């Protein structure tokens, strides 16, 4: 272990002896400048009273790691390994092209627990139709079945033969109630470091697309991580109260996604009601399911 990690581990062990837990915030820069909006939201997140509340009332210390190695999968693996080696209790993954609500940390800590070891906020794709960067796995499609052996070799087939490389974004959800997802991005995710004890390294890596003519495409580096979680029956919970922005030429967020979704659906239903009836059966609506989970209750951490 490097000298700086040894010192870090010693400091964390001393805090554990005093009864404190440690939350490490990991921010991969990937060689880019941090947008002003992101920097301002970080400052708001570190508002002294919020940090004091974590320290005094929750006995949680926070630390930040800015990791600038490239590519992104190397960034993420390095952060995970550092947290494991030094004994960090919680990891909070943030991306540098987003904005975050000031009370994000306290909200996620209300939800995370032994039964909910991973809790993610919500953010949205930068291009139309701006769907949430999260979803649920879909059944085998004929095109993908041709490459089943390849996907199995790469770790994207579950024990029950479920495909773990294709998902459909959540279409409808209630912003006040938790729900689960199979796939997430890591732009705003809190997790217990202990989940990595059951996982295989590397946790994050890019996977080439096996389909002819698409070899230049790569599967997102977080997909292998999500596939491992599914195989280990480790649930991913979503806290829709934590709504984040995703920065491009404009900030994508829940309002933009819902406006685009509802307008497109209304036009499609009017122009081609038969086809709309067909595709609407594919929508993932978790609102009824959310009613069974109830509202948020603070977890004992």
Residue 266: inside a domain, yes or no?
Answer: yes
In this prediction, residue 296 carries a pLDDT of: 66
In this prediction, residue 262 carries a pLDDT of: 93
Residue 301: inside a domain, yes or no?
Answer: no
Output DSSP code: residue 88: -
In this prediction, residue 25 carries a pLDDT of: 96
Which residues pair with residue 60 across a beta bridge? 21
pTM of the model: 0.90
Residue 215: inside a domain, yes or no?
Answer: yes
Alpha-helix runs per DSSP H in the chain: 3-17, 36-45, 48-57, 72-86, 104-111, 142-145, 148-153, 223-231, 254-271, 273-280, 287-293
Long-range contacts (CB closer than 8 Å, 24 or more residues apart) made by 203-212: 203/76, 203/77, 203/80, 203/228, 204/72, 204/73, 204/76, 204/77, 204/80, 205/73, 205/77, 206/71, 206/73, 207/154, 207/156, 207/165, 210/147, 210/150, 210/151, 211/143, 211/147
Long-range contacts (CB closer than 8 Å, 24 or more residues apart) made by 41-45: 41/98, 41/99, 41/100, 41/101, 41/102, 41/245, 42/100, 44/100, 44/102, 45/100, 45/102, 45/104, 45/105
In this prediction, residue 171 carries a pLDDT of: 94
In this prediction, residue 16 carries a pLDDT of: 97
Query: What CATH number did the domain enclosing 27 receive?
Result: 3.90.550.40
| Per-residue model confidence as pLDDT tens for the chain (301 residues) | 588 899 999 999 999 999 999 999 998 876 667 889 999 999 999 888 999 999 999 999 999 988 876 788 999 999 999 999 999 999 999 998 999 999 999 999 999 999 999 999 999 999 999 999 999 999 998 888 999 999 999 999 999 999 999 999 999 999 999 999 999 999 999 999 999 999 999 999 999 888 877 777 788 999 999 999 999 999 999 999 999 999 987 789 999 999 999 999 999 999 999 999 999 988 999 999 998 877 766 665 6
In this prediction, residue 275 carries a pLDDT of: 92
Q: How many domains, the chain?
A: 1
The rounded distance, in Å, linking the Cα atoms of 247 and 254 is 13
Residue 300: inside a domain, yes or no?
Answer: no
Residue 180: inside a domain, yes or no?
Answer: yes
Residue 298: inside a domain, yes or no?
Answer: no
Residue 78: inside a domain, yes or no?
Answer: yes
Q: Which domain holds residue 288?
A: 3-293
Residue 145: inside a domain, yes or no?
Answer: yes
């Amino acid at each position: 272990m490097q000298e700086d990690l040894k010192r870090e581990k010693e400091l964390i062990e001393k805090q554990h002896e005093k009864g404190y837990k440690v939350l490490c915030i990991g921010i991969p820069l990937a060689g880019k400048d941090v947008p002003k909006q992101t920097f301002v939201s970080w400052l708001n997140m570190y508002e002294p009273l919020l940090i004091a509340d974590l320290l005094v009332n929750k006995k949680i210390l926070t630390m930040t790691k800015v990791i600038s190695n490239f590519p992104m999968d190397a960034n993420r693996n390095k952060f995970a390994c550092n947290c494991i080696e030094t004994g960090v209790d919680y990891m909070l993954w943030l991306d540098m092209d987003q904005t975050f609500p000031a009370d994000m940390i306290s909200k996620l800590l209300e939800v995370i627990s032994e039964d909910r070891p991973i809790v993610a906020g919500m953010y949205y794709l930068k291009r139309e139709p701006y769907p949430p960067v999260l979803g649920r796995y879909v059944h085998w499609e004929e095109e993908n079945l041709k490459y089943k052996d390849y996907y199995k070799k790469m770790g994207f087939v579950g024990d029950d033969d479920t495909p773990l490389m294709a998902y459909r974004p959540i279409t409808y959800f209630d912003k006040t109630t938790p729900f689960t997802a199979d796939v997430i991005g890591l732009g705003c995710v809190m997790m217990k470091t202990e989940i990595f004890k059951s996982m295989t390294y590397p946790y994050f890596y890019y996977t080439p697309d096996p389909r002819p003519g698409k070899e230049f495409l790569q599967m997102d580096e977080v997909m292998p991580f999500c596939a491992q979680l599914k195989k280990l029956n480790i649930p991913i919970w979503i806290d829709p109260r934590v709504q984040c922005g995703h920065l491009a030429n404009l900030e994508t967020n829940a309002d933009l996604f819902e406006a685009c979704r509802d307008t497109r659906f209304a036009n499609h239903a009017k122009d081609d009601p038969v086809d709309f009836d067909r595709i609407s059966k594919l929508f993932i609506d978790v609102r009824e399911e959310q009613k069974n989970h109830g509202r948020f209750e603070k977890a004992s951490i």
